[in-house]
């Protein structure tokens, strides 16, 4: 009996000491961790706020502190803002930046990929009541297969989702494999985008599920904005 | 006494992955390309050396009955601390290694070396053992990752050289991991058996003389 208590106490002592050390490291690194997380969030927002293909910002300036960024929050909710029946989500918070004659929504959304949610940030421009998708940035694809689905983060793949005009968003965004068309020229790719068909089969072969997740996410954003009466 | 053999034995002769068959889960999951495999390997070396040091230092203060839970606590808190520190100070690297770092906690190589070596040997030997075994594990992962990336994606360390038609996607997917793993174990075993045979023959020749 005495032996049990003794071993138990020794084990407890080890737990207390290591627990204390982990807590100490946590407290010391907390501000740095928050800052690093914030920085990566802002760099994603900054990237989608640039006009597709250029370095020109759609808004006057990108907020450089958490308080300033919070000032742009337009819609906020516990958990997600909206969830579609296929599992795609619009995540909170939703930022809105006002430009000269346009409004820019910066929206975080997710779609169900191969191994879990694929999370993206996208900038949607509203001008004269018409919504255009400017650019997306894929921020979490950690459950996708490296070499296949994880190629979603490649520049040439993200480019294919960049600038989807209002007519395409209206039709609903689809991956070209699901529609059964393959464009051969740049013009065709661009024309297909205006119909809502995004070509990915040539830049990320063998993976359809991951780009489909992104397309579903974009459609969910449109559904949400429609429901909220924004468009 | 420090023994240089503790450093070299982990590379091929007692390779943790191919001979001891420890830590196979991350080995199958993270070797889809050479770069990820290398990242995981380096992270394992770092944690293995640190946990070997600590376990070797406290080995005389650990009651035999509860040594396993104590080793687990030491390893888990080390991994958590490294995860937090990397998150704070080397954000980009942390992002790349993201899923691998928590995986290290369940890596049997660490438990295996803590139990089989560090809890019975001095600090210097344990450091050598950590570097050697970690190095052997990293090398094994790198070889596996390279084979899978070259055959499956036609590239090596991100440099693409094979056209689309030659890529065998099965090697990036889980079945390819098992195939590569099995063949590599066979190759390493064949090499070790051959070495033993040669040594035996040498001994025999020496005796008859």
Contact A144, A152 (CB under 8 A): yes
Q: What is the pLDDT of residues A44-53, one digit of tens each?
A: 888 888 888 7
Cα dihedral B158, B169, B97, B106 in deg (nearest 10)? -150
Confidence band for B172, pLDDT divided at 50, 70 and 90: confident
Contact B142, B33 (CB under 8 A): no
Collect all residues of chain B within an 8 Å Cβ-Cβ radius of residue A32. Answer: 88-89
Q: Name the residue among A11, A25, A40 with its Cβ closest to that of B84.
A: A25
Whether the model clears a pTM of 0.90, i.e. scores above it, the answer is: no
Collect all residues of chain A within an 8 Å Cβ-Cβ radius of residue B32. Answer: 145-147
A45, two tokens = 């927002």
Count Cβ–Cβ pairs < 8 Å, chain A vs chain B.
63
Collect all residues of chain A within an 8 Å Cβ-Cβ radius of residue B180. Answer: none
Report the C-alpha gap between A161 and A173 in whole angstroms: 9
Q: What is the pLDDT of residues A119-173, one digit of tens each?
A: 999 999 998 888 999 999 998 887 787 667 888 888 889 999 988 998 999 889 9
Confidence band for A21, pLDDT divided at 50, 70 and 90: very high
- ipTM of model: 0.73
Q: Alpha carbon B200 to chain centroid distance?
A: 29
Of B14-18, B57-61, B96-100, the range with the lowest mean pLDDT is B96-100
Report the C-alpha gap between B169 and B118 in whole angstroms: 41
Among candidates A25, A20, A43, A21, which has minimal Cα distance to B83? A25
Among candidates A131, A194, A129, A134, which has minimal Cα distance to A168? A194
Q: Name the residue among A29, A145, A148 with its Cβ closest to that of B84.
A: A29
Q: Residue range A219-224: average pLDDT? A: 94
Q: What is the pLDDT of residues A59-80, one digit of tens each?
A: 878 888 888 888 889 988 888 8
Residue with tokens 């390997």: B41
> Would you call A22 and B169 a contact, using CB atoms and an 8 Å cutoff?
no
A148, two tokens = 């296949």
Interface of A with B (CB under 8 A): 7, 10-11, 14-15, 18-19, 21-22, 25-26, 29, 32-33, 36, 39-40, 142, 145-148, 205-206
Of A39-48, A57-66, B117-126, B142-151, the range with the lowest mean pLDDT is A57-66
Q: Residue A87: phi, psi to the nearest 5?
A: 95, -10
> Would you call A36 and B80 a contact, using CB atoms and an 8 Å cutoff?
no
Residue B1 has pLDDT above 70, yes or no: no
Q: Name the residue among B36, B70, B84 with its Cβ closest to that of A33.
A: B84
What element of type H or E holds A82?
strand A80-83
**How close B186 gets to chain A, by Cα (Å)?**
26
């Amino acid at each position: 009996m005495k032996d049990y208590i003794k071993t138990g106490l020794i084990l407890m002592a080890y737990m207390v000491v290591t627990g204390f050390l982990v807590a100490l490291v946590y407290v010391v690194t907390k501000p740095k961790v928050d800052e690093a997380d914030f920085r990566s969030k802002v760099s994603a927002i900054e990237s989608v706020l640039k006009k597709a293909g250029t370095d020109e910002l759609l808004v006057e300036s990108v907020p450089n502190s958490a308080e300033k960024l919070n000032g742009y929050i337009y819609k906020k909710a516990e958990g997600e803002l909206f969830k579609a029946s296929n599992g795609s989500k619009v995540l909170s918070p939703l930022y809105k930046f006002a430009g000269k004659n346009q409004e820019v929504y910066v929206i975080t959304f997710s779609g169900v990929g191969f191994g879990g949610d694929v999370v993206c940030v996208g900038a949607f421009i509203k001008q004269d009541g018409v919504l255009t998708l400017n650019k997306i940035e894929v921020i979490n694809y950690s459950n996708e297969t490296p070499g296949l689905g994880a190629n979603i983060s490649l520049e040439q793949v993200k480019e294919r989702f960049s600038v989807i005009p209002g007519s395409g968003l209206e039709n609903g965004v689809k991956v070209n494999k699901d529609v059964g068309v393959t464009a051969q020229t740049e013009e065709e790719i661009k024309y297909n985008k205006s119909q809502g068909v995004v070509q990915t089969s040539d830049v990320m072969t063998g993976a359809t599920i991951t780009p489909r997740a992104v397309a579903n996410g974009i459609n969910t954003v449109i559904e949400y904005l429609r429901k909220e009466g924004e468009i | 006494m420090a023994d240089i053999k503790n450093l070299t034995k982990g590379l091929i002769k007692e390779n943790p992955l191919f001979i001891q068959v420890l830590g196979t889960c991350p080995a199958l999951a993270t070797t889809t390309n050479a770069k990820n495999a290398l990242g995981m390997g380096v992270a394992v070396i770092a944690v293995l050396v640190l946990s070997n040091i600590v376990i070797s230092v406290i080995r005389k203060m650990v009651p035999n009955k509860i040594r396993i839970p104590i080793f687990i606590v030491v390893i888990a808190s080390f991994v958590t601390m490294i995860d937090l520190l990397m998150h704070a100070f080397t954000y980009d690297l942390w992002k790349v290694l993201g899923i691998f770092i928590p995986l290290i906690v369940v890596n049997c190589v660490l438990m295996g070396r803590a139990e089989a070596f560090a809890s019975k040997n001095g600090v210097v030997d344990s450091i050598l053992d950590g570097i050697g075994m970690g190095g052997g594990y990293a090398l094994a992962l790198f070889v596996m990752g390279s084979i899978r990336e070259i055959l499956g994606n036609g590239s090596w360390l991100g440099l693409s050289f094979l056209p689309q038609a030659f890529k065998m996607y099965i090697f990036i997917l889980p079945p390819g991991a098992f195939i590569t793993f099995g063949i590599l174990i066979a190759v390493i075993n064949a090499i070790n058996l051959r070495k033993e045979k040669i040594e035996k023959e040498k001994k025999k020749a020496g005796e008859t003389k």
